[in-house]
Amino acid sequence: MKGEPLMSVDARPMYELSVVVPVYQGEHSLEALAGEVSLLASEQFTPAGRPFRVVEMILVHDGAVDDSAKTMRTLAARYGFVRPLWLSRNFGQHAATLAGMASSVGDWVVTIDEDGQHDPADVGRLLDCALERQVRLVYAAPTNAPPHGNVRNAASATAKWISSHLLGSPIGRFNSFRLIEGEVARGVAAYCGANVYIDIALSWVVGETGYGAVALREERGRRRSGYTVRRLLHHFWQLALTSGTVPLRLVSIVGVIAIVTAFVFSGIVIWQRVYREIPVQGWASTITVISLFAGITLLAIGIIAEYLGIAVSMAMGKPPYLIVSRPRQDIGPRH
């Protein structure tokens, strides 16, 4: 039956895996990563003894800033399981991951980074977790700190805490090293709209989530991180807005608190004026209160406008990605 795992030589189901890698700065790291994945292209066994193999490695060219396109073509010529995928421009890591998921064929889809911090050999452990716990989504649970520096790691942990405890996301410990059931991955990629955070989209369609312990490695082959402070803040804002309507509820709560504060403040001023005959100075306190409530109002309008912007983008059919036949560098006169 289509979608069922193949049978290995000893009559146990053979699980076929697709590996999806978004590529932005992979010129010097993809070759080593493909070499590691090639070791999994023949029959392998998970720690629990389940047979599996990688049937494809999809390299998604996300408007790379280096010569990744040449490296991808070289690897595709060397390894039969490597499939280059070209996007029309840089859409971002999440959109590139969705494009790779949509083009996958495996029973399970693994998403990993291009920089080598994720060890492909760990996918067997994630597969065991998925099958033993009967879950459709498994995240890698790092046993060591990510190699990004203390400030970025602390900011990432704070963002995930806010997502889980304040925004109500059912997935609190998420990262880009994931194992997803194939039909779920392809379904999410097909229906996920633009600007939707991929892990939030996955949380909409899966129930319980599994976690498999892995050790992260140092990044390799990168000149600099592709994530600037501005881009990281954009990712957090995207996470907050696509988590649901909790931010709108928070705005309502802040509005109620502001109204109560205004009544209390007014009561204090009236009491001082009537019973203590303290002259009401007025100007400084009035300006302070006006500035406070004007800021709260503008913040609320801004959040509502962001929600409307997302809705308008989806209504207009803005695609999260667009797959083309060649990278931008190949555009030019034909001879």
**Per-residue pLDDT for 41 more than 60?**
yes
- Work out the burial of residue 156: count CB atoms within 10 Å of its CB; fewer than 13 is exposed, 13-18 middle, 19 or more buried: middle
The lowest-confidence range among 125-129, 221-225, 247-251, 311-315 is 221-225
Exposure letters 252-269 (e unless 16+ CB within 10 A, then b):
eeeeeebeeeeeeeeeee
Residue 15, beta-bridge partner list: 52
Residue for token digits 């995930």? 160
* Number of residues written out for the chain: 335
159-176 pLDDT, tens digit each: 555 555 555 555 567 788
At 92-142, the pLDDT tens digits run 888 999 999 999 999 999 999 999 999 999 999 999 999 999 999 999 998
CA angle 238, 242, 244 (to 5 degrees): 145
CA distances to 22, 67, 192, 296, 303 from 30, rounded to whole Å, are 11, 11, 27, 47, 39
Asked if residue 239 lies in contact with residue 158, where contact means CB atoms within 8 angstroms, the answer is no
Where are the domains positioned within the chain? 14-242
Q: Give the pLDDT score at 235.
A: 60
The pLDDT-based confidence of 229 (bands split at 50, 70, 90) is low
pLDDT of res. 227: 54
Q: 220 burial class (0-12, 13-18, 19+ CB within 10 angstroms)?
A: middle
| Helices and strands counted in the chain (H then E) | 10, 10
Axis-axis angle for helices 93-102, 182-191 (nearest 10): 120
Q: Which CATH architecture has domain 14-242?
A: Alpha-Beta Complex (3.90)
The pTM (predicted TM-score) of the whole model is 0.74
* End-to-end C-alpha distance for the chain, whole angstroms: 48
Specify the pLDDT at position 328.
Answer: 75
Model pLDDT, residue 260? 73
* 262-276 pLDDT, tens digit each: 777 777 767 766 766
Mean pLDDT in the chain? 80
- Looking at per-residue pLDDT, the higher value among 1 and 131 belongs to 131
114/222 Cα distance (integer angstroms): 9
Using CA atoms, how far apart are residues 14 and 120, in angstroms rounded to an integer? 18
- Tokens 């992260």 identify what position? 216
Query: In the structure encoding, which two tokens stand for residue 88, read together?
Result: 């029309």
Cα–Cα distance measured from residue 123 to residue 52, given in angstroms and rounded to the nearest whole number? 10
Better-scored residue on pLDDT, 144 or 4:
144
Gap between the Cα atoms of 238 and 241, Å rounded: 5
Distances (CA, A) of 108 to 55, 62, 138: 10, 22, 11
Nearest-angstrom CA–CA distance, 34 and 198:
24
Flag whether pLDDT at 319 surpasses 70.
Answer: yes
Confidence of residue 2 (pLDDT cuts 50, 70, 90): very low
